[in-house]
């Protein structure tokens, strides 16, 4: 399980690097668009649209990585106020619930993607392309999140009851 978890961590790190590169490309594109619009009165009409898609993709690529690092949105103050054993149980319950929710979201994301592809739905803005191209990262992201919840739960069960090292940012 440890080797699988380590390999999964490498995958999540690679996805985070891809997200950073996507963000960098977006910054360069938007900057070039602004410069071109101010200097030549032209630009990239599709720049805003592509930046929207890039932000969406960046969010999906980094969500599992942030969960692994314990840097996702959470109310960690509650864990610091609870007795250690109860905080540990709350972490276990959160992992189980997170896993279940991710499976549900993955299922519906997959259904939306398949339905969109089978219907031939298209996205029409400045760029025109099949809608499923935008939808397929969603079930993949939730599958990765579900897998990370499994790894989190396994790490929690192997550890002695106590707060996770990444669990709280509050002393």
Rounded-to-integer distance, Cα 84 and Cα 136, Å: 40
pLDDT band at 164; cut points 50, 70, 90: low
How confident is the model at residue 171, as a pLDDT? 46
Rounded-to-integer distance, Cα 131 and Cα 112, Å: 10
CB contact set of 51 (below 8 Å; sequence gap of 6+): 26, 29, 30
**CB of 167 closer than 8 Å to CB of 158:** no
In the block, tokens 């997200």 appear at 19
**CB of 151 closer than 8 Å to CB of 11:** no
Rounded-to-integer distance, Cα 108 and Cα 114, Å: 10
Residue pLDDT, tens place only, 7-55: 999 999 999 999 999 999 999 999 999 999 999 999 999 999 999 999 9
- Residue 103 token pair: 């499976």
Task: Return the domain boundaries, the chain.
Answer: 2-158
pLDDT band at 165; cut points 50, 70, 90: low
Rounded-to-integer distance, Cα 104 and Cα 124, Å: 29
Q: What are the two backbone dihedrals, phi and then psi, of residue 123, each rounded to the nearest 5 degrees?
A: -100, 125
Least confident of 85-89, 113-117, 149-153: 85-89
How confident is the model at residue 54, as a pLDDT? 97
Q: What is the percentage of the chain residues whose pLDDT exceeds 90?
A: 76
DSSP bridge pairs for 123: 129
């Amino acid at each position: 399980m440890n080797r699988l978890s380590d390999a999964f961590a490498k995958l999540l790190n690679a996805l985070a690097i891809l997200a950073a590169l996507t963000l960098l490309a977006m910054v360069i594109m938007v900057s070039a668009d602004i410069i071109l619009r101010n200097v030549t009165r032209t630009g990239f009409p599709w720049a805003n649209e592509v930046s929207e898609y890039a932000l969406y993709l960046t969010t999906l690529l980094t969500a599992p990585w942030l969960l692994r690092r314990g840097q996702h949105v959470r109310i960690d103050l509650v864990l610091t106020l609870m007795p250690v054993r109860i905080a540990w149980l709350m972490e276990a319950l959160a992992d189980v619930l997170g896993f279940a929710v991710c499976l549900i979201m993955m299922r519906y994301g997959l259904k939306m993607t398949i339905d969109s592809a089978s219907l031939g739905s298209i996205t029409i803005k400045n760029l025109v392309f099949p809608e499923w191209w935008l939808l397929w990262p969603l079930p993949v992201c939730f599958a990765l999140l579900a897998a990370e919840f499994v790894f989190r739960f396994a790490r929690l069960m192997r550890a002695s009851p106590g707060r996770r090292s990444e669990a709280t940012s509050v002393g």
